[in-house]
Structure 1
Amino acid sequence: MPVPETLLALMEPRPLHGYELRRQYDAVLGLRRPLRSGQIYSTLQRLRRDGLVDVVGVERAGGPERTSFEVTPAGAAGLERWFFQPEGIQPYLQPDLYAKVLLAVLTQRDATRVLDVQRAAHRALMRDMTKIKSSPDSRDIDVIAADLAILHLDADLRWIDSTERRLAKIRQDLIG
């Protein structure tokens, strides 16, 4: 899961400082994808350097300074591209897609579209793998590799369908 896009998605609804961002991250993704505090602050600095977030306030409430950041139009545009770009096909896709779906719901994006884009990418790759299996020139090692890919893709497609059926409940769980 790319940390910059994750932080942008969490900050998009409203400006956050690092501590709030960490709390939000832990509440949504922390149990499944731990993130060190240092990663948050170093990523915020890179996002600021790259013009994807701006500082909107600095407060001191009896402790260290808390700098609040908001997503810039360039950051929002990059986040929009990321949401609707299919993930690379990996043996274990769900952790990244899982996080992307939750973040899409949280930022009130079209999570169904996120799933549809991924479903289309999976089906295209399944067609390619099926061609490999049915080719008279395919070696057994090519066929079993294609079988493995097809079975993983099929499992991912079942997960995508199941998740799509649960989107209303997921929305309720995340944003009430």
Structure 2
Amino acid sequence: MAVSETLLALMEPRPLHGYELHQRYGALLGLRRPLRSGQIYSTLQRLQRDGLVTAVGVERSGGPDRTLFQVTEVGTSGLERWFFEPGGVQQYLQPDLYAKVVLALLTQRDAVRVLDVQRVAHRALMREMTKIKSSPTSGRLEVIAADLAILHLDADLRWIDSTERRLANLRDDIEGHAALIQEADKLR
């Protein structure tokens, strides 16, 4: 998630201070990806340095003074571009898992076990997301976030199952690649 753009969008309707940004982020987007308050304040400093936000006042309540930040015209233009550019599409949503399977095959480790361990973790998270989705206390934002997670987890589980069915052939492919690498190393 693009933290800078997220904060800009949260404060675009009206000036906010860091604590309010932290609360709004948590309420709207923090279901699975909480944002530390320190990250919010360091991002606000960068946004201000880059001219994307400006300090427009100080709010004084019972606690410490809180600087209010407002999005500048430059920040609004950047935010507009960000909204309508496609997000980064990754070829592999689980690159670590892919690497683990390939390297397990290469090093004669139990690739089925690698897949099984990940399958168990994915299913546990899927159950957690399903509980959130079906809970009467979950709001609509939590439900659509849980739906997104469930669909990604389901796709990963299908990849895990498909890969497990192909392991024998993959092992042959890996051994073939390893032999080519060894031959190339001998020529050096």
Matched residues in 2 for 1:77 and 1:33: separation? 26
Q: SS of the counterpart of 2:14? A: coil
Q: SS of the counterpart of 1:64? A: coil
Q: SS of the counterpart of 2:5? A: helix
Deviations 1:38-84 (CA, angstroms, capped at 9, x unpaired): 00000000000000001111122121111000100000000011111
Q: What residue number does 2:65 align with?
A: 65
Matched residues in 1 for 2:59 and 2:14: separation? 16
Q: SS of the counterpart of 2:13? A: coil
Aligned residues: 96
Pairwise CA RMSD? 2.0
Residue 35 of structure 2 aligns to which amino acid in structure 1?
A: L
Matched residues in 2 for 1:75 and 1:88: separation? 21
The percent of aligned pairs where both chains have the same amino acid is 74
Q: What residue number does 1:30 align with?
A: 30
Q: What residue number does 2:21 align with?
A: 21
Q: SS of the counterpart of 1:48? A: helix
Matched residues in 2 for 1:32 and 1:84: separation? 24
Matched residues in 1 for 2:82 and 2:74: separation? 12
Which of these two proteins has the greater Rg computed from alpha carbons?
2
Unaligned runs of 5+ in 1: 93-101, 103-139, 142-176
TM (norm. structure 1) is 0.51
Q: What residue number does 1:97 align with?
A: none
RCO comparison, higher one (Cα < 8 Å, 6+): 1
Q: What residue number does 1:12 align with?
A: 12
Residue 35 of structure 1 aligns to which amino acid in structure 2?
A: L
Unaligned runs of 5+ in 2: 94-140, 142-168, 171-188
